[in-house]
Amino acid sequence: MSLLETLGDVCVLGFGKTGVSVCAYLLQQPEGRVSSITLVGGADATVGEKVQGLADSGVQVQCGSDQVEGTFDLTIASPGIPDTSELFLSAKAASKQILGEPEFAYQESPTQWIGITGTNGKTTTTSLTTSILQYAGLDACAVGNIGFTITDQLSERKSNSWFVAELSSFQLATTQKLHPHVAMLLNITPDHLEWHGSLEAYAAAKEKIFANLDVNDLAIVSDLDEFCLAVSSRLEARGISVCHLAQTDPGTQNAAFVRNGALVVRLSGKEMELVATDALHIRGMHNALNALAAAACGLFLGIDIVSIRHALLDFMPLEHRIEPVKTINGVLYVNDSKATNTDSVEKSLTSFPDKDIILLLGGHDKGTELDKFAQKVSATCAYAICFGEAGPRFAEALRHVSGGRAEVVEEPHLREAFAHAVELARPGFVVLLSPACSSFDEFSGMAQRGHVFKQLVEDLAQEESGR
Binding-site residue ranges for ATP: 118-124
Pairing of β 113-117 and β 60-62:
unpaired
CB 190 within 8 A of CB 225: no
Q: Which of 456, 321, 293 is nearest to 387 (CA)?
A: 456
Cα angle 264, 265, 269; round to 5: 120
Q: Cα(first)–Cα(last) distance of the chain, in Å?
A: 64
Cα angle 43, 48, 52; round to 5: 105
Pairing of β 241-245 and β 255-259:
parallel
**Annotated binding-site members:** 118-124
Whole-number Cα distances in Å, 236 to 210, 218, 243: 11, 11, 10
Whole-number Cα distances in Å, 132 to 55, 165, 296, 302: 41, 14, 10, 11
Distance between CA atoms of 324 and 307, rounded to whole angstroms? 26
Q: Give the DSSP per-residue string, 286-321.
A: HHHHHHHHHHHHHHHTT--HHHHHHHHHHPPPPTTS
